[in-house]
Chains A and B, each alone.
Chain A
Amino acid sequence: MNHLPYIVGSYALFLAIAGGFTAAAWVRLGRARRRLAAIDPRGSR
C-alpha cells in the first residue's frame, strides 16, 4: 500500500491548522495594536 498520500495529508493538515491559527493571531494582534494606538498611544506600548 502506498502511504505517501496519508503522509502528505497529515503534513498538509498540520500546515493548514498551524498556519491558519498563526495568521489569525497575527492579524488580530496587529488590528488590536493599531486600534489601541489610535485611541490611547500610551496604552499600546
Chain B
Amino acid sequence: MDASTAFAPPAGGGRNLHRFANPGRFLRASGRVLPWLAAAGLLLTGIGLLWGLFFAPADWQQGDAVRIMYIHVPAAWLASGGYFALALASLASLVWRHPLADLAAAEIGPVGAAATALCLGTGSLWGKPMWGAWWVWDARLTSVLVLFFLYLGHIALVRAFDDPQRGARAGSILALVGVVNLPIIKFSVDWWNTLHQPATITLTGAPTMYVGMLWPLLFSALGFSFGFAALVVARMRAAVMERRIRALLSARARAEAA
C-alpha cells in the first residue's frame, strides 16, 4: 500500500484543490516555505518588540504600560484571524473533503488558542494598572473569552473520536457555528458601552495613533502573523509525517498478517 492512499482525493471535481493533497508534494512545498516564514516571523517580531520596548515613546496618559500593546494587539488580531483561518479550513473540509484541510484545522486550533490566551493574559496585565482590575465582564473581554472556549472546544472535539474523520467533521461544524462570535468581538466596543477602548486602527479610516507607535505595532503584527503561519505549517508537516507513519505501519501489519 502506498502511504499516499491515506490522502487519496475523492473521485470527481475539485482536482485543482486536491493538488496539494499529495503528502509528498505538500512536504516538499512546505519544506521550502517554512524556513522563510520562520525567519520573517523571528526578524519582524524582534524588530517590532525591541522598537516598541526601547525606542517608541510612552503614552501621555498610560505611560510605559502602553508597551504591552505591542504584544496584546497582534495577539488579539491573530486570535480572531486564526479562528477565521480555522473556519475556512473547516469549510474546505466539509464541502470539498480536502484531507489537508482537516489537518490544517486540527493544527490551527492549539496555536490560535495560544494566541487567544496570550491576548487575554496580556490584556489582564494591561488592565490592572489602567483600570485597577485584572478582569471585567465587559463585552470585548467576554467575547474573546468565548473565543478561547471555542478554540478549546474545537481542540477537544477533533481528538474525541476514535475515527479522525468523525472528529474532523464535528470540529468543522463547531468552528463554522463559532464564526458568529467574530463580528461580535469586532463590534462589541461599538455596540455596547465597554471599558475596553474602541479600535484605533481600521481598514477604512486613518489610524488615530502616533506614527512612532504605529510602525513598531505593524512590524510586531506582521512578525506575529508570519510566526503563526510558521508554527501551523511546522505542525502540519509533523502531522502529515505522523499520518504517513501510521499508514505505513498498518499496511506493513496487514501484509504480515496476510
Contacts and interface: CB of A to CB of B under 8 A. Distances in A.
Contacts of A32: 237-238, 241-242, 245
A31 B27 CA distance: 15
B53 A11 contact: yes
A26 B234 contact: yes
Q: Helix, strand, loop or mixed for chain B's interface?
A: helix
B8 interface: no
Q: Size range of the interface on A?
A: 20 to 34
Contact of A7 (B65, B75, B241): B65
Nearest to A37: B241
A25 B245 CA distance: 17
A43 B24 contact: yes
B148 interface: no
Contacts of B227: 18
Interface of B: 3, 23-24, 27-28, 49, 53, 63-65, 67-68, 71-72, 75, 110-111, 114, 117-118, 121-122, 125-126, 128-129, 227, 231, 234-235, 237-238, 241-242, 244-245, 248-249
Given A10-B72, A21-B111, A28-B238, A40 B65 contact: no
A36 B237 CA distance: 12
Interface in A1-45: 1, 3-4, 6-7, 9-11, 13-14, 17-18, 21-22, 25-26, 28-29, 31-33, 35-36, 39-40, 43-45
